[in-house]
Amino acid sequence: MISYYLMTDKGDRGNNEDNVGMYRMGQEYCFTLADGFGGHGKGEVASQIAVEQAVKTFAQIGKASGECLAEAFQSGQNEILEMQRRDRTAGDMKTTLVLLLVGEELIRWGHIGDSRLYYFENGRLVGRTMDHSVPQMLVAAVEIKEKQIRRHPDRNRLRRVMGVDWEEPRYQMAEPIKSTSGQAFLLCSDGFWEWIEEKKMTACLKKASTPQMWLESMAEIVRRQGRGQNMDNYSAVGVWIN
């Protein structure tokens, strides 16, 4: 059994450039989240294209496969670049994307940018995606500590995004894992994870009886911590394997 919940909020901003989506084919699922940015208010267009193309690709292929995951990123990238060519005001639009495919036997995910996927097992954090950002690069170089990413002055400087020409794919795909009871996944934009630390995510997970309760309890912390800080849009998707 799969249970899930999706949420998105504009925070203190005038519009919401985040997008979330899901699609089900039989017993296989696609969950996706994107955080757009760029001039002329086109960030929401870029994130919408990325999410819609991911869902469309999954619906067409009908299988939570590695091929589907790669094609979802590439089709979104192609569509965004095509929109930039058609509309001069869209030339600066870009987006992150994180994508989770839950199959009957295997679970796959991939990402580009600093929207994250956290993976929990039996109430414990197992790991997360690594941001394609300058601060994450500094962590890898042992120049700053992991906890310093959230408040780093260059936190919004991304090294990989959709909407920039690439000669080879810039997204990153994880090795697939077997689907098993007790797994939980959190997809979230940086406007969400910057205001809640991983130990709080885990504590909320242990107290929750549904993905909706999990996300709502975390969102309460996000709002409390970000109050008065000109909060960015914040979005999240919670998925449980029961």
Stretch 10-24: mean pLDDT: 97
Q: What is the pTM of this model?
A: 0.97
41 pLDDT tier (thresholds 50, 70, 90)? confident
Stretch 95-115: mean pLDDT: 98
Stretch 194-220: mean pLDDT: 98
6 pLDDT tier (thresholds 50, 70, 90)? very high
Residue 40 has pLDDT above 90, yes or no: no
How long a stretch of residues is the chain? Answer: 242
Stretch 106-113: mean pLDDT: 98
Stretch 45-66: mean pLDDT: 97
Mean pLDDT of the chain: 96
Distance CA 116, CA 109 (A): 11
Amino acid letter at 137?
Answer: M
pLDDT of residue 147: 87
Stretch 100-112: mean pLDDT: 97
